[in-house]
């Protein structure tokens, strides 16, 4: 049995991530796209129905899953409408603008019993999968310091909603950075966060730096839009060695280039990590598995069949929002905030 899916929005998120990944999952059918630009959708997906309004998919009994790939400010309102209509919903991150909105959605999902999941696709980045395998091997020993960065070089401010309002990179890239760390280590004891606008004419923070405090380790997170040399993606240091990684996961660029999800070479990391032995200082390549974004919608399809929870649960998404909210409060107060 397949579930008909409506993808709402056909900007970068809908076009690059959600539509191709839904179409690649045998348990799901890319049935409808909500967009005001039908010609653009049909140029890529000629057999998919295109409708202009969200209300039409809420009222359509043939739609079994709604995917929200709309601007952040619409996520909570649209997700609430889907849940009240009895429609399972996947929301692109962040699934609400604030913690209170996130709590309302989680409570509504639990009250109605309708599935709510959040698209944290970077749990399936090649480098993150490789890091999970490295930690499981024990080769690093006790991990004491983790540095995770999403740095880009976009020195010119663009006229788009992501850069015109909101909390900037902390709510755009921060959800990826924090979610990966929560997946590895659970919630920290406290966070210290600093945000800044570094680009001339910037309207929202384009630089974010946070330190997560755990009892036996520190995690440093950084996101920047002015970094011409984004060489560090991960630097993980343990009592037996270090694990170093450069370069970003390739799946987004592969999708943008028109590569079919799951085709030969999909998700293969061209820049594998390096392991540094703590005793000998010897450096050796540390290749890992290919990236696998398709695992997210495979998990969603499984959850819709009643075979277990979704790959990202509503409670996990709420835990993430609690950390992001604490980061904003830390920045505002210029102090560490306990969790």
Query: Does residue 122 surpass a pLDDT of 80?
Result: yes
Give per-residue pLDDT as tens, 51-60: 999 999 999 9
Give per-residue pLDDT as tens, 252-311: 999 999 999 999 999 999 999 999 999 999 999 999 999 999 999 999 999 999 999 999
CA–CA gap between residue 331 and residue 319 (Å, rounded): 19
Query: Does residue 161 surpass a pLDDT of 60?
Result: no
The answer to whether 285 and 272 are in contact (CB under 8 A) is: yes
Spell out the alpha helix ranges (H) of the chain. 12, 19-24, 38-44, 54-58, 72-84, 99-112, 126-137, 161-164, 169-172, 174-185, 251-256, 294-304, 314-333
Q: Which residues contact 199 (CB under 8 A, 6 or more apart)?
A: 155, 156, 157, 206, 225, 226
In the chain the domains, ranked by start, together with CATH numbers, are: 3-119 (3.40.50.720), 122-292+324-338 (3.30.360.10)
Give per-residue pLDDT as tens, 231-260: 899 999 999 999 999 999 999 999 999 999
Q: What was the pLDDT predicted at 167?
A: 77
Edge to edge, the sheet with strand 116-119 lists 49-51, 28-34, 3-8, 65-68, 89-92, 116-119
Half-sphere exposure (Cβ direction) of 2: Cα atoms closer than 13 Å: 12
Lookup result for tokens 């970077």 = 122
Specify the 3-state DSSP secondary structure of 147: strand
Give per-residue pLDDT as tens, 174-194: 999 999 999 999 999 999 999
Spell out the alpha helix ranges (H) of 64-125. 72-84, 99-112
DSSP characters over 212-227:
EE-SS-EEEEEEESB-
C-alpha distances out from residue 333 to 47, 146, 193, Å = 52, 25, 10
The answer to whether 298 and 261 are in contact (CB under 8 A) is: no
pTM of the shown model = 0.95
b/e per residue 6-24 (b: at least 16 CB within 10 A): bbbbbbebbbbbbbbbbbb
């Amino acid at each position: 049995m397949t579930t008909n899916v409506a993808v709402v929005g056909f900007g970068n998120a809908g076009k690059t991530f959600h539509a191709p990944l839904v179409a690649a999952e045998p348990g799901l059918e890319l049935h409808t796209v909500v967009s005001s630009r039908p010609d653009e959708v049909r140029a890529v997906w000629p057999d998919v129905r295109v409708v202009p309004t969200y209300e039409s998919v809420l009222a359509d009994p043939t739609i079994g899953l709604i995917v929200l790939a709309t601007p952040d400010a619409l996520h909570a309102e649209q997700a609430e409408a889907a849940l009240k209509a009895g429609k399972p919903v996947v929301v692109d991150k962040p699934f609400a603008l604030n913690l209170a909105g996130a709590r309302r959605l989680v409570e509504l999902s639990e009250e109605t019993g309708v599935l709510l999941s959040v698209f944290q696709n970077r749990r399936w980045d090649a480098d993150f999968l490789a890091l999970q395998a490295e930690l499981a091997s024990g080769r690093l020993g006790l991990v004491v310091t983790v540095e995770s960065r999403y740095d880009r070089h976009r020195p010119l401010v663009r006229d788009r909603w992501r850069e015109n309002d909101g909390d900037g990179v902390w709510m755009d890239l921060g959800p990826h950075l924090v979610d990966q760390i929560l997946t590895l280590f659970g919630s920290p004891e406290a966070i210290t966060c600093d945000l800044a606008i570094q680009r001339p004419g910037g309207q929202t923070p384009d630089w974010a730096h946070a330190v997560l405090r755990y009892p036996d380790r520190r995690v440093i997170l950084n996101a920047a839009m002015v970094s011409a040399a984004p060489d560090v993606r991960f630097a993980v240091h343990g009592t037996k060695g270090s694990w170093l990684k450069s370069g970003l996961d390739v799946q987004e660029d592969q999708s943008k280039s028109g590569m079919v999800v799951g085709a030969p070479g999909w998700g293969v990391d061209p820049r594998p990590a390096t392991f540094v032995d703590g005793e000998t200082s010897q450096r050796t390549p540390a290749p890992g598995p290919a990236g696998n974004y398709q695992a997210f919608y495979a998990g969603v399809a499984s959850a819709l069949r009643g075979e277990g929870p979704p790959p990202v649960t509503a409670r996990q998404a709420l835990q993430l929002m609690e950390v992001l909210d604490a980061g904003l409060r830390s920045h505002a107060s210029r102090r560490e905030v306990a969790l």
